[in-house]
Structure 1
Amino acid sequence: MAEIKAGIIILLLTLVSLVLIPLQWAAIRLRLPARQILPRIWHRTATRLVGIRIRQIGEPAADRPLLIAANHTSWLDISVIGSLMPLSFIAKSEVSGWPVFGLLAKLQRTVFVNRSRRAHTAQVADAIAERLAAGDTMVLFAEGTSNDGNGVLPFRSALLGAATRPAGSEQSSRVWVQPLSIAYQGYYGVPMGRAHRPYVAWYGDMELAGHLWGVFCRGALDVVVRWGEPVLVDTDTDRKALTRRLEADVRAMTIASLLQMPVESDETGDIDPFDFFSNAEKTAKAGA
């Protein structure tokens, strides 16, 4: 039965893609406003077909330019975030060559970066700054890779420099940067826990096709998306300090979502996930 369900999902997504891909290609070529809307329609369709229930806490900043700095657990993150609002992503250059996914990424006007070439990183940062100045909302998975879904890896500061680069005018040198947390919390309405999170998390040497099929077969996922407080930055902003702050905010929100607790942070902004798990265990024992 699960395999039949997965087959139906793939069939329906294929049909939707056959309709939307030519429309998006034309919208990009003609620079039509629909080029920002059509990818969102695709992602909303995908999340509903798979059975992903998204709960938002907070909201995206209304001010522009806006760069979103998020954690990264799975390829599902793309559709979860993409279903919420018109935006584009920043991705590693290898994605552009992936079958199907590479095409979809290009059609969402993704900016690709070759992380093995330091000079290319600077060029991409300029390209991101130009897109931000043009009013596009960009999403950066600031860890630089995906994780196991149980925490947040250290953020990388290189591409966050795009938010502090002037892009041709005094006004465009000021950019809002907003932390975003994605946490896969439930599985068939039951708290997921560490044992089941690999069903969703895609990291390390996991094979994409097999993981994709597994998600389509299982479905019924609950994900919590938390929006943090946006930070207004300019050319004088310390990039490394900004990176540390965003990382601390995203880590605090992610752990709070996984443990279904309020967001907590100490005075320095440093978060120790083991403190959260220890406190949760103490609370559970006290309740027993």
Structure 2
Amino acid sequence: MTALRSSFVILLIFLWAGILVLPQLVVLGVIPSKRYSLPQLFHKGLCRLLRVRVEIQGTISDIHPTLFVINHISWLDIPVVGKAMKGSFVAKQEVKGYPLIGWLAKLQQTIFIARTRPSVRNHKDGMQEHLEQGDSIFLFPEGTSSNGLVLQDFKSAYFALAEGYDGHGPLNVQPVTLAYSKMDNLLMSRGIMKLVAWVGDEELLGHVWNFLNAGRVTAELRFHEPVTIDQYDSRKDMAADCQRKIARGLSRALTARPEPT
């Protein structure tokens, strides 16, 4: 019965995507200022189909643009973040060539880069262009996914965006903790987290199938106080501070503790 339900969910996801593709193409051509509205609706539908409940703590920055820096755990991060906010994701170059997924990512204005330091510098102009248009950006500064329990080091090269921003005033940067804290209303254990976290060279389709056969997941987005580059001596200090704030938020989320007031 579980496998039958999972197969039905996959069919519904394809149908849901198909319903929104043509309207999104029209929006991009006719009213591009609304280009993020249908992708957000799409991600809301995905979370519903995938049985993911998204809980939010803190205040989402309403400054445009904002660079949201978020820890990375799974492919599931995309609909979770996309449901809560409007903006462009930064994804590795390989995603652009994925069947269907790459095309849908392009429709959402995803910025594709190779995950190397020289490439980050080379693609900075493209990301700056989005920021200068007032588009917020969702950035995963670990450069890859973690195990959902412990962060990997943030790459300070990504924070060069804050140094080179040419808008009015310094770029608004908001650290965001993403945590998968519960499955079927029980705190997430290390073993169960493997059903959510997508790490290493694990095959994507197999991981998605195993996730669909699991339970209902609670995802938390904890929004920390925004910062600007002029509060730090360097982008490395900014990256380290954002990493500390997000790591503390992850620890609190996994142990059902609220953020301090």
Q: What's the TM-score, normalizing by structure 1?
A: 0.85
* Unpaired segments ≥5 residues, structure 1: 265-288
Give the share of equivalent positions with the same residue, in percent. 34
Q: Residues 25-36 of structure 1: matches in 2 within 5 Å?
A: 25-36=25-36
Distance 1:22 1:219, change over 3 A: farther
Larger relative contact order (C-alpha < 8 A, sep ≥ 6)?
Answer: 2
Going from structure 1 to structure 2, the CA distance change for 1:189 and 1:166 (only over 3 Å counts) comes to closer
Question: Map of 1:82-161 to 2, 5 A cutoff?
Answer: 82-116=82-116, 118=118, 120-161=119-160
Q: Secondary structure at the match of 1:112?
A: strand
Q: CA RMSD in A?
A: 1.8
* 1:182 aligned counterpart, secondary structure: strand
Deviations 1:155-178 (A, max 9, x none): 0011211122133x5x1x521000
Distance of aligned partners of 1:242 and 1:117 in 2 relative to their CA distance in 1, 3 Å threshold? closer
Q: What is the match of residue 6 of structure 1?
A: 6
Matched, 1:191 2:207: no
Q: Unmatched 5+ residue regions in structure 2?
A: none
Q: Which has more radius of gyration?
A: 1
Q: What residue is the counterpart of 2:174 in the other structure?
A: 178
CA shift digits 1:119-176 (9 cap, x unpaired): x322311211121121111000010000111111110011211122133x5x1x5210
Aligned to 1:230, the other structure's residue is in SS state: coil
User: How far apart are residue 220 of structure 1 and its match?
Assistant: 0.6
Number of residues paired by the alignment? 260
Q: Which residue of 2 aligns with 1:284?
A: none
User: Structure 2 counterpart of 1:155, which letter?
Assistant: F
Contact 1:71 1:152 in 2 (8 A): yes
How many angstroms does 1:88 deviate by?
Answer: 1.1
Question: Equivalent residues in 2 for 1:1-288 (5 A)?
Answer: 1-116=1-116, 118=118, 120-167=119-166, 171=168, 174-233=170-229, 238-263=234-259
Assess if the C-alpha contact under 8 Å between 2:232 and 2:238 holds in 1: no
Cα distance in 1, alignment partners of residues 159 and 67 from structure 2: 9
